[in-house]
Each structure stands twice: as C-alpha cells, then as structure tokens.
Amino acid sequence: MRPEKFLLVATLLVAGLSSLGLVPASHPAPKKPNIIIILADDMGYSDIGCFGSDARTPNLDAMAAGGLKMTNFYNASRCCPSRASLLTGLYQHQAGVGDMVNTRTQPAYQGYLNKNCVTIAEALKTGGYNTFMAGKWHVGQAPEHWPVKRGFDHYFGLIDGANSYFENRPYRPNQKLTIALDDKPYTPGPGYYSTDAYTDHAIEFIDQSKSTGKPFFLYLAYQAPHWPLHALPEDIAKYKGKFMAGWDKLREQRFERLQKLGVINKNTKLSPRDERVPAWESLSQEEKVRWDEKMAVYCAMIDRMDQNIGKLRQKLKDLGQDQNTVIMFLSDNGGSSEAIKGTGFLPEIIEANKKPSSDPSSFTAYEFPGANVSNAPFRFFKHWTYEGGTATPFIAYGPGIVKPGRTDATPGHLVDLMATCLDLAQVAYPKTYNANQIKPTEGISMVPVFKGQPWKGHNALFFEHEGNRAVRQGKWKLVSEFPANKWQLYDLEADRSELHDLSAGNPQKVQELTVMYDKWATHAEVIPFEQLSKAGEF
C-alpha cells in the first residue's frame, strides 16, 4: 500500500475508534470551573462600594468592574429561608424551612432541610467536585442536619443564626450555640475573629484538596455584618467620626452614588426617612457620637469581609486557579432593623448593649436608623417583602465565563443559583437522591446573563415570610405586609422605592397577580402564617 493511502486509512480508523470512545479524543473536555458562592449576612442593598456604600470594598468593586452586577436580584427576606432557597434551588417552604429553624408540625415548616431536596454540594459531588463550606449554616441545628450530612466534604463555622465574632457566646436563656469543624463542636482560641477564621479554613480546605485534581465548590457564608456589631480596632479606626453628618445626609449621598453608578434608574426616588427614625438634629451630641460609632463598626465589618475576599482571591491566584473560578456574591436579606433590647436576651447581653460598639465585649445592633441607611434608596427592612427586605446586590465574576464590565437589570432570585452552578459544572439536576424523590428546581440558569447573552428569566418571582407576601412580574410588584394583609401595587420601573400604591387604579392587575400568587402559594406549600402551629410544638 502506498504511504499516503496507509496514512489515510490509519487516520480514518483512529477517528472511528475515537468516536466509539475506544481511544482518547485529541481534544480533552474543557476543565470544569471552580465555583464559589459568597453570602453576606443582613447586609443592605447599598452597603458595598459598587452599590453606593461608604464602606471600602475594593475587592468586591474590582469583581464588579471585571464581571457583572445584577441590580434586580432577590433573596427571601430572612436568614434561614434565604439559605434554604440558595442551597436547594427551591422556594424555602419546599425545602422544609418555610419560616425559621424552629420546629413545627407542618413539613414545609419543620425547620431543617428535608430529604426531597438536594443541596448544591450534593448535586456537584455527583459531577466530581470537592465541596467545602465555611461560615453560618442556619438550616438545621441537630448534628444529623449539619453541612457534612448534606454534601459538604469539609465544614467550619457557626451552625446557629448569630453569635459573638470573638467567642462562642449564647445571648438567650437556655441557649446552646455551636461552632463546628466538620462534624464536631469546636472551641475558638485566643485571637479568634469569625470573619478571618471562616476564610482561613476555606483556604485550608482548598489547599488540602489541590492534589486531587478535582474542581471545587465553596460556599462561604460570612456572619458579617449581622449583629452583634463586632469589628477589629484597626478597621474601626478607618471610619470613626465619618458619619457625624447624620443619616439623612448619608442616605442622600448613597442615593446620588447609586444613580451615578447606574444601579438605579433616573425614575427612582429616595424614600423618606423611616417614621421610626428621629430627625438627626433632634439627637443629643452623645447620641450622635454613639450612632457614628455604630456605623463605623458596621462599615468596618464589611471592610474586613472584603479584605478576606481579597485574601481568598490571592490564594486562587497563587494556586493558578484564578482564571478558572466563578465567584458569586450576594446578601441573604436587606439591612436589619432588629434591636438588642427587652425580653428574650440574657441580662448580661442587655448590659453589654449599653457599651460602646467598639468594645469587643459589647453586644449591639444598629437598629432602624442604620438599616434605613443600609437599604437606601428603599423602604422597609429584613423580614418584610418590600424591596428593602428582599433586594440584594449581586456580583458575578469569572474570567472567560462572565463578560466583564456589565450591569444587568433583569430580575433574578436565589433559586437560580442551583441551576447556574450545575450549568457551569455541566452536571444534571437529579430526579432522585439517596432513594428519595427530589422536587424539580424552581430556578433558571443565569449562565447566559453571565455571558452577555439574551436571558428570558422568570415569568414571575414570589415571596412569603411570616405572612408578608409579594409577587413580581415584569415591572409590576404586588406586596402586602402582615397582619394587615392588604395588597399594594407598584410599578418598579417608575417607582423602585415603592412610594406610590397604584392598586386603586388598577384592580384588574391586582386581581391577576393575586391569582398568580395564590396558585404559587399552593404549589410551594405556603400556609397562612396565622394558621401555623407554634414553634417547637409537636
């Protein structure tokens, strides 16, 4: 046989065998990306630099500039429900955390992730991923519901909802708080600061797994800036004295930055100061100084979180993984108006609330005034389903995957993170897991948005938390607050701050969206809040 004919026959033979999978293909499959989700806790819509904040967040700002900002992204308005939704790609009721981690008789409100959902970690493990978590869990307090039982290879962090940043410290009578390493309780030593510790353990997990050659998924759920307001002295020093202009001026400054940055459109108006917040001029000098200090500590907490995100990104670069990692950042709800006062707290916590926020032994929150600044330009706060409770800054960054320098106003939701992660990893969403039927995901992959491609998104998004309800479809949002239960209608394109209720002039739209909400509520296993059994009741 002539050489050229032999070469042709050999080439055709190899090609045929390769197509049958009998010899390696000449071009290996693209390497799967590492995936990181970073969740802030109780952080408001305008609390990072690229969304208008006074806090210094150069690492998050760089990710936004080199990636994508989504300005109409939503959470579930409260810690536990948002975490359940994020982890499972379901609405929180479908995952078993319809309210908080309190146990109730109804399955949708049992207070921990059920067996008819999978976590992102469980799903990605089937696709060959190492899976790690560091930070606040808050979707199952019993050891059988801890992260290592829900798909994570390694875990370090706070199992519960809140704690001191410096030590393991209960704040309610008969309360046991748990910091855990993998599946064992962990006692922090001297020099512990939770934000640093979460990052250090996350980096350790990544470092220890590098020899496996597998991609990794990391869920880094910072406790910051949830109360108590605890920060390190060197971070507080950057901000102390910078907020003496008062909350009205600070909100106006944030509003101007939000517009200049293109985060909100020209139709958006700054909501009035919340009625529960006094005029700044009415405060004594002592009260002004105390609030300035609270705001300084709050911003310092976010600053330290950003520093740690920078430390994590540097580690990725050192490992040569920075060009093959997609990072997503968001908050679990709007700014918190909660206070450390009155019943439910230990006497020593009430006493610690009287100390300056810069004192490491203090136990303070920044209450309605601070949350009103954090959520600028919106109304209301964590717990409610107005924009101030449910809107979150969202950033996605990933060289070669996320098209840089873009701002997108298409509505997205926590439920989309599961589908997005599986799409990035090219892993199928399971119909069954551990012999349990798995509920279909409610989310839609946002990878097209990341790539700058057309994305149809959701026909509608739905919200319910402790009787507070909402549905958003296109520009329209229907909202009601518990216990009044009266529907209000807003045009978010013209009025993102929800200042003008249009329900009286649009009864047909109210009826249309009410029908949609009721149908969703039945599908998602929502029970009217007043009909729920008491927490802890069996």
364-407, pLDDT tens digit by residue? 999 999 999 999 999 999 999 999 999 999 999 999 999 999 99
Q: Which residues of 464-474 are buried (b: 16+ CB within 10 A; e: fewer)?
A: bbbbbbbbbbe
How far is the first Cα of the chain from the last one, in angstroms, to the nearest whole number? 84
- Euclidean distance between CA atoms 391 and 412, whole angstroms: 10
How far is C-alpha 197 from the chain's CA centre?
A: 19
- Euclidean distance between CA atoms 487 and 478, whole angstroms: 6
* pLDDT average, residue stretch 171-196: 96
- Euclidean distance between CA atoms 317 and 300, whole angstroms: 26
* pLDDT average, residue stretch 160-167: 96
User: What amino acid is encoded at 128 in this protein?
Assistant: G
Question: Between 477 and 1, where is the model more confident?
Answer: 477
| pLDDT of the residue at 342 | 86
Question: Taking 90 as the threshold, does the pLDDT of residue 509 lie above it?
Answer: yes
User: What is the overall mean pLDDT for the chain?
Assistant: 94
Question: Residues 425, 431, 436, 439: is their CA dihedral positive or negative?
Answer: positive
Question: Taking 90 as the threshold, does the pLDDT of residue 25 lie above it?
Answer: no
User: What amino acid is encoded at 521 in this protein?
Assistant: A
Query: Which residues lie below 8 Å from residue 155, measured CB to CB, with a gap of 6+?
Result: 132, 133, 134, 137, 146, 147, 148, 180, 181, 182, 183
Q: What is the DSSP string of 251-267?
A: HHHHHHHHHHTTSS-TT
- Euclidean distance between CA atoms 274 and 498, whole angstroms: 13
Residue 325 near residue 316, CB atoms below 8 Å: yes
Residue 19 confidence class, pLDDT cut points 50, 70, 90:
very low
Question: Between 528 and 15, where is the model more confident?
Answer: 528
- Euclidean distance between CA atoms 300 and 234, whole angstroms: 9
Strand pairing class (476-480; 488-491): antiparallel
Which member of 79, 117, 299, 421 is catalytic? Answer: 79
Q: Which two tokens stand for residue 215?
A: 């991609």
Query: Which residues lie below 8 Å from residue 65, measured CB to CB, with a gap of 6+?
Result: 50, 404, 405
Q: Would residue 79 show up in a list of annotated catalytic residues for this protein? A: yes
The closest alpha carbon to 484, from 505, 461, 503, 467, belongs to 467
- Euclidean distance between CA atoms 460 and 476, whole angstroms: 10
Which member of 50, 93, 117, 138 is catalytic? Answer: 138
Residue 470 near residue 463, CB atoms below 8 Å: yes
- Euclidean distance between CA atoms 394 and 63, whole angstroms: 11
| pLDDT of the residue at 23 | 44
| pLDDT of the residue at 488 | 98
Residue 29 confidence class, pLDDT cut points 50, 70, 90:
low
* pLDDT average, residue stretch 328-344: 95
pLDDT (tens digit per residue) in 441-470:
999 999 999 999 999 899 999 999 999 999
Residue 27 confidence class, pLDDT cut points 50, 70, 90:
low
Q: Which of 8-22, 37-51, 147-161, 244-258 has the lowest mean pLDDT?
A: 8-22
Q: Is 89 exposed, middle or buried (0-12, 13-18, 19+ CB in 10 A)?
A: buried
- Euclidean distance between CA atoms 331 and 393, whole angstroms: 7
- Euclidean distance between CA atoms 432 and 425, whole angstroms: 19
Residue 128 near residue 121, CB atoms below 8 Å: no
Q: How many CA atoms lie within 13 A of 354 on its CB side?
A: 5
- Euclidean distance between CA atoms 101 and 114, whole angstroms: 12
Q: Would residue 50 show up in a list of annotated catalytic residues for this protein? A: no
pLDDT (tens digit per residue) in 63-102:
999 999 999 999 999 999 999 999 999 999 999 999 999 8
Residue 353 near residue 7, CB atoms below 8 Å: no
Provide the strand spans (E) within 17-129.
34-40, 68-74
